[in-house]
Chains A and B, each alone.
Chain A
Amino acid sequence: MTRHTMTASLLAGATALTALPASAQTELTMYYPIAVGGALTQVVDGLIAEFHEAHPDIRVNSIYAGNYDDTRVRVLSAIASGDSAPLSVLFSIDALDLIEQEMIIPFDQVLETDEEREWLDSFYPGLMANGQIDGQTWGVPFQRSTIVAYYNKDMFSAAGLDPEAPPANWDELVSMGLALRETGPYGIMIPSTGYPYWMFQALATQNGMELMNGDGTETYFDDPAVIEALEYWVSLSAEHDIMPSGTVEWGTLRQAFLEGQTAMMWHTTGNLTAVRDQASFDFGVAMLPEKVRPGSPTGGGNFYLFEGASDDEYRAALTLIRFLTDAERAAQWSIATGYVGVSPAAYETDVLRAYAEEFPPAIVARDQLEYSVAELSTYEGARVRDALNTAIQSALTGSATPADALAQAQSIADRLLTPYR
């Protein structure tokens, strides 16, 4: 390299550096939720730092804002008071209400080239289900999950069960649970605070019934198959005593599993890495058992684009979203958390391949995607979900029968949804 060219490149570099903040730096504020344990804020900070290196013209201010509900409040508050938040991660099931309140814009408005439009096809279709409405795409998957069964292999062995054969159906879940209960710990814990409707949706799906129609205007809470699913859940504690009575706390369940209070737990796959890091025993991860079919809802957060930002901001937001969801980053994110890698390409990367080889539970959630259904999503979503949550908790705590509780929830949902039909 000659002295001359070196000076030139230094000069060019210097001008580029000084020019950047003045000319083209776009600022983005992004809110995101965390619903599982572990130091995920640090993982997100790390990804954002990588992004800053790759795209010095965009500055991202990422704000951790609590759980999904808290984060929705924060984003909508910010927009209502005139602050700009071009993109954020919110509950994948918030799309209908966000559209109804005219808060978000479809990605189709921002995508310009065919290449960009094809990018939307790179994700698992199951993860796109909640975000595609009226032929447009409103949400792009990021921290997405399914429910998986974690089980304590040591306890399985101690109870004389095969640690490589977790329960494959409802009957086995009960019989193995009873065997485990004989040795002391609870057989299974299914969390019933936080997101009870989500766990329940898994049971209903396994029993062959979806909880809502595709338009989010009808719910089927009082369908016999749905009632039967809740009766099964209740029977785990009331009849078989393999689950504690009352509600099981979503937040402390991982701790309870790690402390050996229960031999199995159902939880989001987003907890996988935290469990792996902290478990002092050998544990396995399995798909949820089936009744008439296997099944779990998808869950978790999508990227949304919010009303009121400038074209530049939307383009910058798109750059960020594409960066965070590309195969390498998705693989990295999946390894750091346990969340599903959002595209098949993520599972083709060397890192994730190597990881899955060393730690097979890492791909259980992906395999389960094949049987997954869209998460419960309706208009007036928060209230409809709360009505169902209340019903589930009433049944589990014994203050109402499953049939009565679900009939009540259905009547509330009908009242709320009538204006949208």
Chain B
Amino acid sequence: MEALLSNVDWSEIGWASWDTLVMVGMSLLFSVLIGLPIGVLLFLTGKRQLLEQPVAYAVLSFVVNVLRSVPFIILLIVMIPFTVMLIGTSLGVAGAIPPLVAGGAPFFARLVETSLREVDRGIIEATQAMGANVRQIILGALLPEALPGIIAGITVTAITLVSYAAMSGVIGGGGLGDLAIRFGYQRFQTDVMVITVALLVIFVQVLQMVGDRLVLYFSRK
């Protein structure tokens, strides 16, 4: 066992895991905070919706599509000057978070838009008939009804961010991905590679399980 994992520095693995947790956690938080309102706006301004606004929808949709169509590895590099401007460095855990949010928020926004569209139009109509204004329709009916879908969306976004965070090792982002690239790839330490991959797999499994449980709890169907 010792011989098999001779290159593995467990405290290093521990710190890298913590860094990955922080990167995923922070970027998920900001992705949700930014993506949720954008998703709601996309839904509301869409065709035959409450605040139908073809121009606003087209602009918003275009921005979201652009961010989503750039491969994340390119987005990481393109974002460097902006990241430096925002937090002073493009390296380490902090430097990885802005590009992660740039990748995660538009992704989550689309998922929010889709789950809002799945809410039965009759519910919106019934809420309107009760004399609700747009804000009340969103907060009182649409979001609670779409909650299971939104939670599923958060889970998918979190898992995407785990793989994005691993990629950020390429530009010196820190975390398990960084470890895998520096030791596992560049120094041919296969044992480190195996451990980091195993940890990432466990991480994703746990996220999916927790997400599924929450969806189940909140769907009253």
Partners in one complex: no
